[in-house]
Chains A and B, each alone.
Chain A
Amino acid sequence: MSASQIIFYLISAFILGCGILAMTTRKIFRSAIWLLFSLVGVAALYFWMQVEFIAAVQIVVYVGGIVVLIIFSIFLTQQSGKEMPKPPLGRNIAAVLAVLFGFALTFLLINKYGFTDQGKAFDWSVNKIGTQMLNTGEQGFALPFEVVSILLLAAMVGCIVIAMRSKPEEK
Chain B
Amino acid sequence: MHLLAIDWFLLIEKAILILLIVTVCLVTAMYATWGERKVAAIIQDRRGPNRAGPFGLFQPLADGLKLFMKEEIIPNASVKFLFVLGPGIAMVTALMTSAVIPWGGTIHIFGRDIALQIADINVGILFVFAIVSMGVYGIMIGGWASNNKFSLLAAIRGASQMISYELPMGLALISLLMVTGSVRLGVFVDQQVNGVWNVVYQPLGFFIFFICALAECNRTPFDLPEAENELNFGYHQEYSSMKLGFYLFAEYINMFISGVVMSTLYFGGYDIPFVNEAAFGDVWWIGALEFLALMAKGLIFVFIFMWIRWTIPRFRYDQLMDLGWKKLVPLALLNMLITAVVVLWRN
B311 at the interface (CB under 8 A from A): no
Task: Report, nearest first, the 4 A-B pairs whose CB atoms are least far apart.
Answer: A64-B133, A3-B3, A59-B130, A56-B126
Classify chain A's interface size: 20 to 34
The B46-62 residues at the A interface (CB cut-off 8 A) are none
Interface residues of A, dominant DSSP: helix
B251 at the interface (CB under 8 A from A): no
Contact B133 A65 (CB under 8 A): yes
Q: Which residue of B lies closest to A72 (CB)?
A: B159
The A1-27 residues at the B interface (CB cut-off 8 A) are 2-4, 7
The B100-145 residues at the A interface (CB cut-off 8 A) are 121-123, 126-127, 129-134, 136-137, 140-141, 144
B160 at the interface (CB under 8 A from A): yes
Contact A52 B163 (CB under 8 A): no
| Chain B neighbourhood of A80, CB < 8 A | 144
Contact B133 A59 (CB under 8 A): yes
Proximity bits, B183-197, A CB within 8 Å = 1, else 0: 100000000000000
Q: Which residue of B lies closest to A48 (CB)?
A: B2
Contact A71 B140 (CB under 8 A): yes
A116 at the interface (CB under 8 A from B): no
The A48-92 residues at the B interface (CB cut-off 8 A) are 52-53, 55-57, 59-60, 63-65, 68, 71-72, 75-76, 80-81
Proximity bits, B308-333, A CB within 8 Å = 1, else 0: 00000000000000000000000000
| Chain A neighbourhood of B137, CB < 8 A | 36, 68
| Chain B neighbourhood of A76, CB < 8 A | 156
What CA separation (Å) do A65 and B1 show in the bound complex?
A: 37
| Chain A neighbourhood of B2, CB < 8 A | 2-4, 7
5 contacts between A and B (CB under 8 A): A30-B82, A33-B85, A53-B126, A55-B123, A63-B133
Q: Which residue of A lies closest to B181 (CB)?
A: A127
What CA separation (Å) do A30 and B85 show in the bound complex?
A: 12
What CA separation (Å) do A30 and B144 show in the bound complex?
A: 11
| Chain B neighbourhood of A3, CB < 8 A | 1-4
B152 at the interface (CB under 8 A from A): yes
Set B82, B121, B134: member contacting A59, Cβ < 8 A? B134
A125 at the interface (CB under 8 A from B): yes
Contact B144 A52 (CB under 8 A): no
Set B79, B122, B155, B156: member contacting A53, Cβ < 8 A? B122
Chain B nearest CB from A108 CB (Å) reads 31
B28 at the interface (CB under 8 A from A): no
What CA separation (Å) do A7 and B121 show in the bound complex?
A: 20
Contact B1 A2 (CB under 8 A): yes
Chain A nearest CB from B254 CB (Å) reads 15
Set B85, B144, B166: member contacting A75, Cβ < 8 A? B144
B241 at the interface (CB under 8 A from A): no
| Chain B neighbourhood of A68, CB < 8 A | 133, 136-137, 140, 159, 163
Q: Which residue of B lies closest to A2 (CB)?
A: B1
| Chain A neighbourhood of B180, CB < 8 A | none
| Chain A neighbourhood of B85, CB < 8 A | 33
